[in-house]
Amino acid sequence: MLSDPRDFPPLQPATIAVTAGRPPHEPDAPLNTPLTPASVFVAGGKREYGRYANPTWEPFEAVLGRLEGGRALAFASGLAAVAALLDLVAPGEVVVAPRHAYLGTLQQLATLEQRGRLRVRVVNVAETDDVVAACDDAAMVWLESPTNPALEVADIETIAARAHAAGARVVVDNTFATPLLQQPLWLGADIVMHSATKYLAGHSDAVLGAVVTQDDETYDALDGQRRLMGAIPGTLETWLAVRGLRTLHLRVERAQLNARSLVPRLQAHAAVSAVRYPGFGGIVAIELEGGAAAADTLTRSTRLWVHATSLGGVESTFERRRRWQSEPATIPDSLVRMSVGVEDVEDLWADLGAALDELTR
Among residues 69, 70, 86, 102, the one that binds ligand PLP under rule CB under 6 A: 102
| CB of residue 336 to ligand PLP, shortest distance in Å | 15
Residue pair 317/336 in contact by the 8 Å Cβ criterion: no
Name the residue nearer to ligand PLP (CB basis): 192 or 266: 192
Q: Determine the Cα–Cα distance for residues 340 and 343; give it in Å rounded to an integer.
A: 9
Cβ-based nearer residue to ligand PLP, 126 or 271: 126
- What string of DSSP letters covers 251-280? HHHHHHHHHHHHHHHHHT-TTEEEEE--SS
- Helix, strand, coil percent values for the chain (each to nearest 5): 40, 15, 45
Closer CB to ligand PLP, 176 or 318, in the complex: 176
Rule CB under 6 A: is residue 104 a binding residue for ligand PLP? Answer: yes
Tell me which of 66, 71, 102, 322 is the catalytic residue.
Answer: 102
Q: Which one, of 352, 276, 351, 288, lies nearest residue 320 by Cα?
A: 288
C-alpha closest to that of 249 among 144, 344, 178: 178
Q: Which DSSP letter does residue 40 get?
A: B
**Orientation angle between helical segments 78-86 and 103-114, nearest 10 degrees:** 30
Smallest separation (angstroms) from ligand PLP to the CB of 204: 12
Residues 6+ apart with CB under 8 A from 337: 148, 149, 283, 284, 285, 311, 318, 319, 321
* Residue number with CB closer to ligand PLP (195 or 238): 195
Residues 6+ apart with CB under 8 A from 36: 54, 55, 56, 235
Strand (E) or helix (H) holding 154: none
102 catalytically annotated: yes
Catalytic residue among 47, 51, 121, 265: 51
How many residues bind ligand PLP (CB under 6 A)? The answer is: 15
Contact region with ligand PLP (CB under 6 A), list: 60-68, 97-105, 231-239, 284-292: 97-105
Residue nearest ligand PLP, CB atom distance = 78
Q: Interface with ligand PLP includes 202 (CB under 6 A)?
A: no
199 is catalytic: no
Q: Closest approach of Cβ 125 to ligand PLP, in Å?
A: 12
Query: Which one of 54-62, 71-79, 252-260, 335-343 is the stretch in contact with ligand PLP (CB under 6 A)?
Result: 71-79
Choose, from 4, 155, 173, 190, the residue flagged as catalytic: 173
> For ligand PLP, which residue of 144, 190, 319, 327 counts as binding (CB under 6 A)?
144
Interaction of residue 197 with ligand PLP, rule CB under 6 A: yes
Site residues for ligand PLP, 153-182, by CB under 6 A, read: 173, 175-176
Nearer to ligand PLP, 77 or 182 (CB): 77
Q: Does the protein bind ligand PLP through residue 145 (CB under 6 A)?
A: no
Cα separation, 253 vs 240, in Å, equals 20
Identity of the residue, 80 or 163, whose beta carbon is nearer to ligand PLP in the bound complex? 80
In whole angstroms, what is the distance from residue 49 CA to residue 43 CA?
9
Choose the binding region for ligand PLP from 75-83, 88-96, 218-226, 295-303 (rule: CB under 6 A): 75-83
Amino acid (1-letter code) at residue 274: A
Residue 195 interacting with ligand PLP (CB under 6 A): yes
For ligand PLP, which residue of 16, 17, 53, 79 counts as binding (CB under 6 A)? 79
Whole-number Cα distances in Å, 285 to 152, 179, 188, 320:
11, 21, 28, 9
Q: Which is nearer to ligand PLP, 3 or 204 (CB)?
A: 204
Residue pair 348/316 in contact (Cβ under 8 Å)? The answer is: yes
Q: How far apart are CA 207 and CA 85, in angstroms?
A: 18
**Active-site residue set:** 51, 102, 173, 198
Interaction site with ligand PLP (CB under 6 A) = 77-79, 102, 104-105, 144, 148, 173, 175-176, 195, 197, 207, 209
